[in-house]
Amino acid sequence: MADLGTDRVISYPPVGRDTGLGEARAVVTRTAPGGGPRHLAFHPGGSVVYLVNELHGSVTAWSYDAERGTLDELQTVSTLPHGFDGENHSAAIHVHPGGRWLYVSNRGDFDSIALFAIDPRTGLLTPRGYQREGIVWPRSFALHPDGRWLLVANRRAGEVRVFAVDPGTGALTPTGERAAVPDPTHVLLAPRSPGAAP
C-alpha cells in the first residue's frame, strides 16, 4: 500500500481469508521525503514493482521479495521532460500486460501520459516519450487486458478517451473514440461475461 501522507509503502501479509491483513507483521519501506507515493504497479514477473511519486513527478522501480515483503530501490526517473518547472501532479501508473512498457499520467502544465520501456532482464526504465494529444488532466487510465487499448479518464474534459497501443513501440495513438462522462476520476474495465462476443 502506498501511503502518500507519510511517505511510506507498507506491505501487509495476509493472515487468512476471513481475518484480513497481518498489521503486526507489516513491512514498512520509507520513500523519498515529500515525494507523495500515490500508486503501485507490479511487473507481470512479480519481482519488480513501480511506484509513482505524485509530488516529485517521478517513478521509482523497486525489487520485490515476495517472501519477506521487502522492497529495495533500483532506480528513480522523472515522469516529465528535462528542465520542466511548472505545476504537476503525477497520478496513475500501469504496466502493459506484455511487461515491456510502463505508463504514468501527469496532470498540470504538462498533461500527458509518459511512456517508459522496461528492461526485460533488470526491470529498469528508459523514457520513451509522451502522449499529449487528447490528454486533459488525466486522473486515471486503464489498459485493456489484451494490451491493444488504453482508456484515459480526462477529468477536466469530462470524457473517457480511447487510445491504440502500438505493439512494437508502446506508443499511443488517439482513435477518436470517446465517451462523455462528467468529472471522471477512475477507469475500471469490467470482466467479460462468459460467452460474450469479443
Return the CATH number at 110: 2.130.10.10
In a domain, 167, yes or no: no
Task: Take residue 96 and report the three cell numbers written for it.
Answer: 502493459
In a domain, 188, yes or no: no
What pLDDT, on the 0 to 100 scale, is given for residue 14? 75
Express as a percent the part of the chain with pLDDT over 90.
86
In a domain, 68, yes or no: yes
| Tens-digit pLDDT profile for residues 106-153 | 999 999 999 999 999 999 999 999 999 999 999 999 999 999 999 999
What pLDDT, on the 0 to 100 scale, is given for residue 95? 98
In a domain, 158, yes or no: no
pLDDT surpasses 60 at 198: no
How many domains does the structure of the chain reveal? 1
* CA 42 to centroid of chain Cα atoms: 9
Which residues form the domain of 73?
Answer: 2-134
In a domain, 74, yes or no: yes
In a domain, 160, yes or no: no
Does the global pTM surpass 0.75?
yes
Residue 18: how many other CB atoms lie within 10 Å: 5
Which DSSP helix (H) or strand (E) runs through 125?
strand 125-131
Give the HSE-up count for residue 175: Cα atoms under 13 Å, Cβ half-sphere. Answer: 15
The stretch 155-166 carries a mean pLDDT of 98
Using pLDDT thresholds of 50, 70 and 90, give the confidence band for residue 194: low
In a domain, 130, yes or no: yes
In a domain, 104, yes or no: yes
| Tens-digit pLDDT profile for residues 31-65 | 999 999 999 999 999 999 999 999 999 999 999 99
